[in-house]
Amino acid sequence: MNPSETHSSHFPLVSVVVATYNGALFLRGQLDSIFGQTYPNFEVVIVDDASKDGTLAILDYYETMHPNVRVFKAEENLGFRKNFEKGMLLCKGEYIALSDQDDIWLPEKISTLMRERGDHALIYCNSELIDAEGNRLGVKLTDLKNLLSFASPLNYVVGGTASGHAMIIKKDVAQQSLPVPEMVTHDYWIGFVATFTSPLKFVDQALVLYRQHGGNVIGVNSGNARATKKRKVTSQERHALIRQRMKLMYEKCPDDQTEIKKVFYSLDKSYQNFSLRNNFTRMMIFFKYRKEITAYKKRSELRRWLFCLKMFYKIE
């Protein structure tokens, strides 16, 4: 169905944000899958991060062919966080769907998530992994991580699994997440902020074919790819980033989330150094809230306990 044919109040406008950078190899497949969506009312906001390959020519073609496309081209490279931020600020829709440049969306992705969204600030789906050639690998993200309907900001203390490529977010919540701190990914931070408004809803349908290849910026194997290009981060640098992240989470948590705010305050203090008092405080908080903090981990109860115990001498 052509998005321009139906503009009913029953179908709120969804803004699809596509962040591109030197993505010519896979971009056509992703864009074709977006324009093949069954949802009848969406726009596509494409923000290019100063690509040097054939990406811009591809974007010019799709902008000419589709009236619901807006393309914005950066003159200098901003990085993927700022690129997504720019795209979200340019959206006209009440809802925002984030898109990588190298995946494939199944036709019912937007329709399914919009139908199931209810009053949730963020809804996301499962994904199935494909290789660089588009071959299905027989692995879903739920085989690797716990994907859940997260209900608390504490679910994001040490990690989160609501991937950006699988999300639809209310526009006001997305904008409340900006700017995204440098030490976290945009989807991690958006998911954390969304929990202030409502639980995050998970739909256990693989509606995205999630491509894994050597050039992934974010992906199941992206850490290995990045490790070959950047120097190894020292433990001191890593600890400094973690402490900064915890401080930002405490500061971002609204005052009306009274209990959670107190927990983040205590965690922030306990992360400052490895004194016996801080170590004990940090460990006890992890034990008390282990259900929330370790929700994303595919681990047995014993391993969750061991993870909490480890917080006596480690920070994550």
What is the end-to-end Cα distance of the chain in Å, rounded? 47
pLDDT of 1 > 50? The answer is no
pLDDT of the residue at 213: 79
pLDDT tens-digit readout, 177-191: 999 999 899 999 999
Host H or E run for residue 203:
strand 201-211
Q: How confident is the model at residue 221 (pLDDT cuts 50, 70, 90)?
A: low
pLDDT of the residue at 223: 42
Q: How confident is the model at residue 2 (pLDDT cuts 50, 70, 90)?
A: very low
Q: How confident is the model at residue 10 (pLDDT cuts 50, 70, 90)?
A: confident
Domains of the chain: 3-227 (3.90.550.10), 235-310 (no CATH)
What is the C-alpha separation between 41 and 67, in angstroms, rounded?
12
Burial of 5 (0-12, 13-18, 19+ CB in 10 A): exposed
8 A C-beta contact, residue 174 and residue 95: no
Q: What mean pLDDT comes out for the span 150-171?
A: 94
Here the tokens at position 267 are 């965690």
Q: What mean pLDDT comes out for the span 116-136?
A: 96
What is the C-alpha separation between 46 and 230, in angstroms, rounded?
28
pLDDT > 70 fraction of the chain, expressed in percent and rounded: 92
Stated pTM of the model:
0.90
